[in-house]
Structure formats: C-alpha cells, structure tokens
Chains A and B, each alone.
Chain A
Amino acid sequence: MAEAVATLPKVRRPANSWEIWGRLLVVPYLLIFVIFVVYPVGYGLYLARDPQNYVRLFDDPIFFRTAINTLVFVVVAVNLKMIIALGLSGFFAQTRWWINIVALLFILPWAVPSIPTILSVRFMFNSEWGVINTLIFKLTLKDGPNWLNDPTIALGLSMMMHIWKSLPFWTLILLAGRLAIPSEQYEAASVDGATRWQKFRFITWPSMKGLYLTSTILSMIFTLGDFNSVYLLTGGGPADLTHVLATLGIRYLRLDQIELAMASIVVALPFVLPLVYVMMKRLSK
C-alpha cells in the first residue's frame, strides 16, 4: 500500500505563466531582503561571535547603566504613554466642534520631523540661555536646575520627548478602536444608570484590551529603536550616563568598536525576540 502511494506521481500544479509572473514579481523585494537584511544580520552576528566581546561589554560600566536606562525607558515611557493615549482617546471620541480643532493640532508632533522639535526642546532646557530657566529666574530670581547636565532629569526629558512625539499616533490607534464600539452599548448602559467608570470598566475596556495590549508590545519594540529622542536631546551625556541600547550601539560604532556594538545588540535579543514572536502571531492571523 505504502509502495503504491510512493509510486504515484506527485500532483503538482504546472508552473503556468501566472505562477512564473508571481515569482518574478516577488523577486525585487527578495533581492532587497537578501542584500540588505540577511547579509547584514548574518555578518553582524558573525562579527559578534567571539565570547571575549561579551566579557568586554559587561566590563564596560556604561553598558550596565545603559541596560538600566533602556529598561526604565521602555517600561515607564511606554506604559505612561499608552495610559495617557487611552485616556485621551476618550476625550477625542467626544463630538464637539472645538475638539476637532484640538485633534488637528494634536497630530502636529507626529506630522513634523523629529529633529527640529527635539532641538527646539533642547534649547528650551539650556541652563544658561534657555527660555525655561530665563522664566524661572524672572519669577524667582534664582537659577533654575541644570536640566540636561543632570543624568536623571536628562533621561526623564528624553522620555518626555519620546512621549511628545509618539503620543498622537497611539491615541489615533486607540481612538479608532474606541469608535468601533457600537454606541447602543453606551446608550443602554446610560438607561441603566451606569456611571462613567462603570461604562469604561464594563464596555470600553473589555472590547479594547486586545488592541491596547498589542499596541503596548508594538510600542515597546519601536521604543527600543528610538535613537533620536535620546541622542539629539542629551547626546547620551552627561558622561555617557543617559545612553539607551539604540544610542550605545551607535556610540561603539563611532568609536570603531563594531564587535562591541553588535554584542550590545545581541544581548538585547532575548528580550526583543519574544516580543516580536508575540506580535508576529497576532498580526499574521
């Protein structure tokens, strides 16, 4: 019996012109993928193969500080941003003429490139000439804090910059999710005398928590790659104390230590890949 099955010719669709064209048309992307993703990633991993690199990396005091900064950045900034976005999506779901205008203005940080606005904020917080300390001096006759020269404040301001830039995007995403909830559910709840909190707890949250979770994971992955909010605001300083993984890799690269740069990325993979796996599962359904 098994033999009989084995001798049957394999049933295969002949490669007709449709199949041939299909293959031809994915070639451009596959070329890009092989030349600019497979080769770099493979070559990078090859460069990072020597265990000695990891010893050197862990011996670098900046690396430990960077790991902590990255963790704080990803956990605090992302969750703070998503909670604010969830709240604001409720605000923008209200129908008022003036809220439409606020919504138009609100997407401005997302619509403009990040470099000019980050540099604008950088100068606002300049301790000598910046407008913030000028105002503090005018009001209190005392010098304001040395904002960007204090590692804690500087990292905090980088997180604020990140939130400023990406809050509109996530608010729009969550707003789309909120507007998809049938309004009859809210009307029925109002008839039953539900409070605003009860409506959120029993109608809004149950239908949005999937979207909220997906958004949070995706935002965590993207935030790991946020180079601009840190580099252009603090430059990783003072004294290399505000680096995150995205800027540390580039710092090593600029110092011509590409093996360390790759090693710093490889050690992040055990944290990134599970998040990527979850996202792939969710998105390729």
Chain B
Amino acid sequence: MIKGWSLRKVSTEAQLLLVGIPVVLWTLIPVYHLFLFAISPRDTATSGRLWPKSPTMQNFEIVFGQKHFYLSHFWQQLGNSLLIAIATGALTLLVATTAAFAISRLKVRGGRTVMNLALFTYFIPAAFLAVPMYKTMSNYGLLNNRWAMILAMVTIASPYCIWVLKQASDKLPWELDEAARIDGASPLQLFRLVYVPLMVPSLVAVGTYALLLAWNEYLYGFLLLSKETDLPLAVALGNFLSADDSPWELLMATGFIYALPPAAIYYAFKRYMVSGLTAGAVKS
C-alpha cells in the first residue's frame, strides 16, 4: 500500500475536486470569454472555438489608436477614470482619517452620533441615493462636471472607511496618547507622528477601497456626466450598447484594458484588503 493513500482519502480528494472544478469553470468562463473576444479578429470571435484560429492584437491597436467612432476619446476617458479614482481615494482618505481620529482618539463630544450617521449612510443603497443626488448636483450647478462624480463617490465611500478606521484605531493602545500628551504634544502632532504611522495598513486598505469603488462605478457617472470628453471609461463602455451592431470585439478589448488596473491593485494589496476589509465588513 502506498503510504497515506487509503481508499477513504482518495474519495475525499475526489469529492473536493468535484467542488473545485465547477467553481473554477463558473468563475473563469465570463472572464475568459471577454479575453477571447479581445484577441479575436472581428468575424471569428463568435465561432464558439476555445482558442481563436489566428489570435491578434489588432483590437488593442484600434483601441490605443482611437481608430473607431466609439473610441475617439479613449485616452481622455481613461484619464477621467484615473482622475476620478485618485481624487476620490485622496479626499476620502482625508475626510475619513480625520473623522476617525477625532472620534476614536480625541473622543470628541457627539462622536458616537457622527459614527451612527455615517453608518446609516453606508446602509442607504447607492442606487436609491442616486435619484436625489442627481437633482442635488443639478441644483448645485455641478451636473456635467467631473467634480460631481468625485464628490458623490467620496460621500458613498467615506462612511465605510470611517467605520473601518474607527474599529482599527480603537485597538491602538491608549498609553501612546497619554505619553504624547504628557510630553506636551499637540493634537496635530499626535495625529501626524503617532496616529498616521501606526494606521498605515488600514489607511492603505480604505484608500484602495475608495479608489477602486470610484474606478468601478458606473451608475453615478452615467447620471452625472454626459459630455463625451468628461466620461469615465466605465460609462463609455456602457455607451457601446446604444447600437445593435456594436463592435463587440473592441468593447471587450477596451473592457479588458479597463479591468486590468483594479485587478492588479486588488491582487497586489490582497493582504491588506482581505484582512482590513473582511475584519471590518461584518462583525459577528
């Protein structure tokens, strides 16, 4: 008998494979279909083959060269996505970190109420808030301005970030603050020299969360922006659907390019994201 390979063990492994294989197929088919389209020449993409007869980079050339009606502002729109994501990430980080510091470490009066208001906002489904938000941005004269989308995304991202940061900063030892106070540190020095350096992992997690939220957002961009040159890539992708004979292979190639940065960031920061966000997301 081979060491360790009993019949029982083989059966357990087989059962695990019976779960693992369908899970991999279910996960990968839509992504693989997207990729297959992106590297297929126009007419052969729909043949149902597992690998194109003549894979090509031609679709990417058309996208990067902006050589199609739907893609005439590709670089501008990629830049818009980037701008909106980075601005949302930076502003959210600023707003959430200061609020979490004031609530958790400075124990500001009414801090608990602010926390509850933020939590309540977190639970308003974003698609519901979108309706009055549209009207509000119009009243503020911000419609068709990229700031409208940035500010809306900060509004949606910050409650969760404040909550995650507060959970994390409540765990920092209180003696640090006391030592800093005895040494005569001002609140700002405590923030800059003690608090922020200790919170770096959580800050990376929530900053990335806000950045990805804004990059991935479709609905708010679709409502608040309409000029071709203001649109983020997500909305530009949705606009491909406006005609029946859309160039699907170009849509998929653009979608592939659009999906790469967030996927890369996600996998690069996976350690922070998973521990930081799952610990915060649901407390049993």
- Which positions in A face B, CB cutoff 8 Å? 17-19, 21-26, 28-30, 32-33, 36-37, 39-41, 43-44, 47, 88, 91, 94, 96, 98-99, 102, 104-117, 119-121, 123-124, 129-131, 134-135, 138, 164, 168, 172-173, 176-177, 208, 210-211, 214-215, 218, 221-222, 224-228, 231-232, 235, 245-247, 249-250, 253, 258, 261-262, 265, 268, 272, 275-276, 279-280, 282-285
Q: How far is the CA of A21 from the CA of B158 in the complex (A)?
A: 20
Q: Which residues of B contact A235 (CB under 8 A)?
A: 241
Among B67-75, B122-130, B197-205, the stretch that binds chain A is B122-130
Asked whether B218 is an interface residue with its Cβ less than 8 Å from the other chain, the reply is yes
A selection of 17 A-B contacts at a CB cut-off of 8 Å is A21-B102, A22-B187, A25-B99, A25-B101, A29-B114, A36-B152, A91-B16, A91-B20, A99-B20, A105-B24, A116-B237, A124-B29, A134-B46, A227-B126, A250-B127, A276-B123, A280-B119
A26 touches B128 (CB 8 A): no
Given contacts A23-B102, A91-B19, contact A225 B48 (CB under 8 A): no
In the assembled complex, which residues on chain A have CB atoms less than 8 Å from the CB atom of B186?
Answer: 17, 21
- Residues on B with C-beta less than 8 A from A17 are 186-187
Indicate whether B262 reaches chain A with its CB closer than 8 angstroms. yes
> A-side binding surface: helix, strand, loop or mixed?
helix
| A108 touching B26, Cβ below 8 Å | no
* Closest partner residue, chain A, to B35 (CB atom): A120
From A32, A224, A231, B125 is in contact (CB under 8 Å) with: A224
B252 touches A120 (CB 8 A): yes
In the complex where A28-B95, A44-B135 touch, is A117 in contact with B130 (Cβ < 8 A)? no
CB pair A29 B158 closer than 8 Å:
yes
Which of A47, A113, A265, A280 makes the CB contact (< 8 A) with B128? A265
* CB <8 Å contact, B132 and A22: no
Say how far A119's CB is from chain B's closest CB, in angstroms: 6
Residues in A with CB closer than 8 Å to B20 are 91, 98-99, 102
Identity of the chain A residue whose Cβ is nearest the Cβ of B17 in the assembled complex = A98
Q: A25-B102, A134-B46, A164-B26 are in contact. Are A284 and B115 (CB under 8 A)?
A: yes
User: What 8 A-B pairs have minimum CB-CB distances, sorted nearest first?
Assistant: A225-B125, A116-B255, A22-B108, A44-B132, A22-B106, A246-B127, A40-B132, A111-B266
Q: How far is the CB of A156 from chain B (nearest CB, A)?
A: 15
Binding site for A on B (CB under 8 A): 16, 19-20, 23-24, 26-31, 33-34, 37, 46-48, 94-96, 98-99, 101-103, 106-109, 111, 114-121, 123-136, 139, 151-152, 154-155, 158, 162-163, 186-188, 191, 215-216, 218-219, 223, 234, 237-238, 240-241, 248, 251-252, 255-256, 258-259, 262-263, 266-267, 270, 274, 278-279, 281-284
Known: A120-B252, A280-B123. A26 touches B258 (CB 8 A): no
A262 proximity list for chain B (CB < 8 A): 131-132
The chain A residue sitting closest to B36, CB to CB, is A131
CA distance A215 to B282 in the complex (A): 7
B103 touches A284 (CB 8 A): no
Cα of A121 to Cα of B31 in the assembled complex, Å: 9
Q: What B residues does A214 contact at CB under 8 A?
A: 282-284
Chain A: CB-nearest residue to B188: A21
Selected contact of A108 from candidates B135, B223, B263, CB within 8 Å? B263
Q: How far is the CA of A19 from the CA of B107 in the complex (A)?
A: 8
Which A residues are CB-close (under 8 A) to B47?
134
Q: Which of A25, A107, A117, A245 contacts B34 (CB 8 A)?
A: A117
Q: Give complex CA distance A226, B125 in Å.
A: 8
Report chain A residues within 8 Å CB of B270.
Answer: 107
Please determine whether B278 and A123 come into contact, CB atoms closer than 8 angstroms.
Answer: no
CB neighbours (8 Å) of B136 from chain A are 36, 39-40, 43
